[in-house]
Amino acid sequence: GKNYDVAWVVALILMVPMFFNMTSGSVINVLDALDKRLIRSVVLVIMALVNIVLTICLINFCGMIGSAIATAICMLIGQIVIMNIYYSRCIGIRVLQLYREAYKGILLYQIIGAIVGYTVSECTASALLAMILGGIVYILVSWGGYLLFGQTKQEKELFRKFLSKFHPTLKGEHS
């Protein structure tokens, strides 16, 4: 309902940088294997301290949205910008290629799905029904876009093999 608009904004502010941060989550295993996790830990501690100070400043002006903005800024600077520079320059990981490959075929459809799902939910009077319908529309649009346009040939073949277990007419070769 309308009383939860602020909570929705806070969640969105926090989810956007986390979405991009999760892409490089597997890189932490590389840091462990190379015994180079100390730099990441130091960066995260410094950014946590900056987050505390920034949260105190922004919460006075914007309330809980200010707190979310402070956390999002610190996450963007520390975990995304600084760490990706470190991964690229010091470890040799091609970060831009990692993002490009991770989001190829899915990011556009997730954005479209979010916009269409939000639009559907805004046109629904009941808060519960709005959440359910908005979620279903998001899933259908983002998943459908990925299935139709985003999959690689290998992913399409794996998906076809999976479906053939449930539907025997899909056992033949399709391109």
**pLDDT tens-place string over residues 117-128:** 888 888 888 888
Q: Is 35 left (phi over 0), alpha (psi -120 to 50) or beta?
A: left
CB 44 within 8 A of CB 83: no
Encode pLDDT of 92-115 as tens digits: 888 888 888 878 778 888 888 888
pLDDT at 86: 92
Ordered DSSP codes for 110-141: HHHHHHHHHHHHHT-SSHHHHHHHHHHHHHHH
Q: Is 105 left (phi over 0), alpha (psi -120 to 50) or beta?
A: left
CB 68 within 8 A of CB 13: yes
